[in-house]
Amino acid sequence: MTYLFNDPTAFVEELIDGFTSAHRLQVQKVTGGVVRRHKPRHGQVVVVIGGGSGHYPAFGGFVGMGMAHGAALGNVFASPSAQQICQVAQAINADGGILFSFGNYAGDVLHFTQAQERLRALGFDVRSVIVTDDIASAVSAERHQRRGIAGMLPVFKAAAVAADAGKSMEEVFRIANEANSRVRTLGVAFSGCTLPGANKPLFEVAAGTMEVGMGIHGEPGLYRMKAPSADGLAQILTEKLLSEIPPMVKHSAGLRIGLMLNSLGTVKNEELFVLYRKIEQLLSEHGLIIVEPVVGEFITSFDMAGVSLTLFWLNDEMEETWLAPADTPAFHRNPRLVDDYRLDDNPSRNPIPASVQAVETEAIIAGSAESQATARLVLFMLEAARIAIGEQRDSLGSLDAVAGDGDHGIGMQRGIDAAVKAAKSALLAQAGVESLLEVAGNAWSDQAGGTSGALWGVMLRSVGSALGNKSAPSGSSVAAGIALALRNVVVLGKAQLGDKTLVDVLHPFSASLDAAVSRGLSLSEAWSIAADIAQDAGQGTRHLLPKIGRARPHAEKSLGTPDPGAISLVLILRAVEKILIEDCSC
C-alpha cells in the first residue's frame, strides 16, 4: 500500500522536488527530469537514462558522478515523453554525443526513439542501447524481446564509465552493448504493488505462494508456485540464471561475475542478506568468483514484495566498469574518487540551467474562418472523449491489469485532459484545425507518456496534417487523415492487424470510413457505419493473443478479455460520432 501522497496526479512532480532538494550536491532538477549537479567535460559523450517513476532508485537515483549524466522521469509506471527526454539530453549535452539507455518496454522504446530522431535532426550524434536482461520475458533465441529490469544498472554504469573516461561514441556504444549482452536477471514476487491513490494492488498473490518472472511495472509473473524457504529460493534463482550463461562466456573454474540482489520494494535488507549467503555458497560451488556484490534496493516497484537476482558475466573490460568509482544518491562505489569526479566546495560550479528551450517551439498558425470553425468542433469532440474516458477509466485499468500494469485508464485520462487544455489555448489563439490537433497531440503524448501517449499523439497530429488550416474539411480529407494516422501508428508502434492492439480497431474503421465516404455518404453517416464496425472489432480482440508490447509475455491470460487500447479507441470514436450527429451538418 502506498500511504504518503497528496494529489496522485501531482505525485511525480512532488517526489522530484523532494529528491533533488535532498541530494542537491549531486543532482538538480531540469525540465523533464534530473541531471548531474556539475557539467561534464566539453566534448565528451553523455549518458541519459530514463523510464517511469515508481522504481526508485531507478532512475534518478543513478544520476551522479560515475554513473548517468541525466535521467528523464515519466509518470508512475509510464515512460517519459519524447519531449522530456530531449529536454534532459539538451540540458546535459557536452557536444560529444548522447547515448540513451533504457529498458525494453514499448512506451520507452517509442519515446526514446522519437527523441533520438528529433535530436539527430538538430545535428546531435545520438545512439540508443536497450537493456534486455530479464530471462523470464522471452526465450534466449528471442533475447531482443526481453524486458529490461535490474540488469539496467550495470549497463548504465558501464556506459557512463566509458563516457567519463573520454572514449568515443563508438566505444561507449560498443561497451554498453557488451555489458547488456553479459547481464541476466530473474525476479519473483510475493505480493502486488499499489499505485498512489489506488485502493487495491495491481494483482494479488495468494498467501504462501509467489509469482516467478514478474515485471517491474507490476505485471504478474509467468507462473505461480508455493513460496520456498530463503535457501530454496536461492536454489531456484541461481539454477535458472546458470542455465542462461551468455554464449561468449567460456564457463570454467575461477570465472568472475558481478552480482546484484535487489529488493523490489518491501523485502528488507535483513531478508536479502539471508538469501545472499546461500546464493554465494551455491555460486562458489560452481567455481564462480563474485566481484564486489551489491545487495539492497536498486530497481523497485513501489511496495511490491519481491526480489531479483542479476549476474553480470565479467571480462577485464567489464570488471573495470563494474569496479569504477561512483557517487550518486543511490549507488556508491569507493569513497576516494578520481579528481575528475571529485566535488569541490562550491556546489554552484558550472550549474545546469533549471530548464532548457524545447526542441520544438509550437507556433500557433491562425486558420481560416472555416478551419477555425472546424477547430471549435474538434474541441467539442475532445471534450466528449474526455467524458467518455473518465466514465470508463477504472474499467480500462482493470482490462489492462489482466496482462499488463493496469495504468491504461489513468494514462488515457492524463492524455485527454492535457489535449483538451492545449486545444482550448490553441482555439483562443485562433488556431486552424491542423494547429489545434498538433498541439493537442503533443500535449497528449507529453503528459500521458507510455505507449498509448505516443500513439494518440501521432494519431491526432496525422489527422490534423490531412485537414490543414485553410479550408473546411470534407469527408474524403477526414478519411485520408484517419488512413494517415493508421499508417503512422503502424510505423511507430510496429503492430499489425491481429496483434491485439488498437490497430485491430483503427484498421477496419479506416477502411469502412473510406468506403462509405466514397459511396457519397455524409461524414456523420459514414462515421456511424465505421464506428459500428470498429465496436465489433474492439470486442473481437477478446479472441486474440497479444503479439507485441507489455502484454505479450502473458498472452494466454488476456484471452477472453478485449484489448484496453482497442476499447478506449472505440469509446473515443463513439464520442466523436455523437458530436458529428448533434453539432455538425457535414
**Spatial separation of the C-alpha atoms in residues 157 and 87, rounded to whole Å:** 22
- Quick: pLDDT tens for 394-452: 999 888 888 777 889 889 999 999 999 999 999 999 999 999 999 999 999 999 888 88
- Quick: pLDDT tens for 16-40: 999 999 999 999 999 999 999 999 9
C-alpha cell at position 519: 459511396
Residue 340 has pLDDT above 50, yes or no: no
Place of cell 484471452: 559
Q: What percent of the chain shows pLDDT beyond 70? A: 92
Peptide bond into 509 cis (omega under 30): no
For residue 366, which of 249, 519, 286, 470 has the smallest C-alpha distance?
A: 470
Residue 511: how many other CB atoms lie within 10 Å: 16
- Quick: pLDDT tens for 446-483: 998 888 899 999 999 999 999 999 988 999 999 999 99
**Spatial separation of the C-alpha atoms in residues 53 and 216, rounded to whole Å:** 11
Residue 553 confidence (pLDDT) = 63
- Quick: pLDDT tens for 351-395: 666 665 544 446 788 899 999 999 999 999 999 999 999 999 999
What average pLDDT does the segment 514-520 reach? Answer: 96
Sign of CA dihedral 524, 525, 526, 531: positive
Query: Amino acid identity, residue 334?
Result: N
pLDDT, averaged across the chain? 90
Residues 6 or more apart in contact with residue 186 via CB below 8 angstroms: 134, 135, 136, 212, 213, 237, 240, 241, 308, 309
Residue 220 confidence (pLDDT) = 62
Residue 407 confidence (pLDDT) = 83
Peptide bond into 80 cis (omega under 30): no
- Quick: pLDDT tens for 119-175: 999 999 999 999 999 999 889 899 999 999 999 999 999 999 999 999 999 999 999
C-alpha distance from residue 506 to each of 415, 479, 572 (Å): 19, 12, 11
Split at pLDDT 50, 70, 90, the class of 338 is: very low
Residues 552, 139, 255: CA angle, nearest 5 degrees: 140
Split at pLDDT 50, 70, 90, the class of 558 is: confident
For residue 185, which of 261, 83, 257 has the smallest C-alpha distance?
A: 261
DSSP 341: G
**How does DSSP assign 229-289, residue by residue?**
-HHHHHHHHHHHHHTT--TT----TTEEEEEEEEE-BSS-HHHHHHHHHHHHHHHHHTTEE
Intrachain domains 8-192+206-334 and 369-583 with the same fold: no
Residue 365 confidence (pLDDT) = 82
- Quick: pLDDT tens for 216-249: 876 667 788 999 999 999 999 999 999 999 999 9
DSSP 583: H
Place of cell 515512460: 79
Residue 8 has pLDDT above 90, yes or no: no
Residue 21: how many other CB atoms lie within 10 Å: 10
C-alpha cell at position 15: 517526489
C-alpha distance from residue 152 to each of 51, 82, 328, 364 (Å): 11, 20, 15, 40
Residue 568: how many other CB atoms lie within 10 Å: 30
DSSP 59: T
C-alpha distance from residue 453 to each of 173, 262, 441 (Å): 28, 30, 9
C-alpha cell at position 441: 497531440
For residue 291, give the H/E element and its range. strand 288-296
Split at pLDDT 50, 70, 90, the class of 181 is: very high
Q: What percent of the chain shows pLDDT beyond 90? A: 72
Maximum C-alpha span of the chain: 79
Q: Which of 217, 408, 507, 554 is catalytic?
A: 217
Q: Which residue has the higher pLDDT, 7 or 16?
A: 16
Place of cell 547488456: 180
| pTM score of the predicted model | 0.83
CATH class belonging to 8-192+206-334: alpha beta
Residue 545 confidence (pLDDT) = 81
Residue 321 confidence (pLDDT) = 95
What average pLDDT does the segment 107-126 reach? Answer: 96
Residue 550 has pLDDT above 80, yes or no: no
C-alpha cell at position 521: 455518404
**Spatial separation of the C-alpha atoms in residues 356 and 353, rounded to whole Å:** 7
- Quick: pLDDT tens for 260-301: 999 999 999 999 999 999 999 999 999 999 999 999 999 998
For residue 158, which of 294, 326, 341, 321 has the smallest C-alpha distance?
A: 321
Taking the alpha carbons at both ends of the chain, their separation in whole angstroms is 51
**How does DSSP assign 105-145, residue by residue?**
-HHHHHHHHHHHHHHHHTT--EEEEEE--BTTSS-GGGGGG
φ/ψ bin of 109: left (φ > 0), alpha (ψ from -120 to 50), beta (otherwise): alpha
Split at pLDDT 50, 70, 90, the class of 343 is: very low
Give the side-chain half-sphere CA count within 13 A for 51.
32
Residue 525 has pLDDT above 80, yes or no: yes
The fourth-level CATH superfamily of domain 369-583 is DhaL domain (1.25.40.340)
Residue 7 has pLDDT above 90, yes or no: no
Spell out the domain ranges in the chain: 8-192+206-334, 369-583
Split at pLDDT 50, 70, 90, the class of 346 is: very low
Is 217 one of the catalytic residues?
yes
C-alpha cell at position 464: 490534423
The answer to whether the CB of 89 falls within 8 A of the CB of 98 is yes
**Spatial separation of the C-alpha atoms in residues 260 and 222, rounded to whole Å:** 22
For residue 292, give the H/E element and its range. strand 288-296
For residue 322, which of 160, 104, 165 has the smallest C-alpha distance?
A: 160
Residue 337 confidence (pLDDT) = 36
Split at pLDDT 50, 70, 90, the class of 254 is: confident
For residue 569, which of 497, 483, 509, 518 has the smallest C-alpha distance?
A: 509
Residue 113 has pLDDT above 80, yes or no: yes
Least confident stretch, 63-67, 322-326, 406-410, 560-564 = 406-410
Split at pLDDT 50, 70, 90, the class of 199 is: confident
Least confident stretch, 138-147, 513-522, 547-556 = 547-556
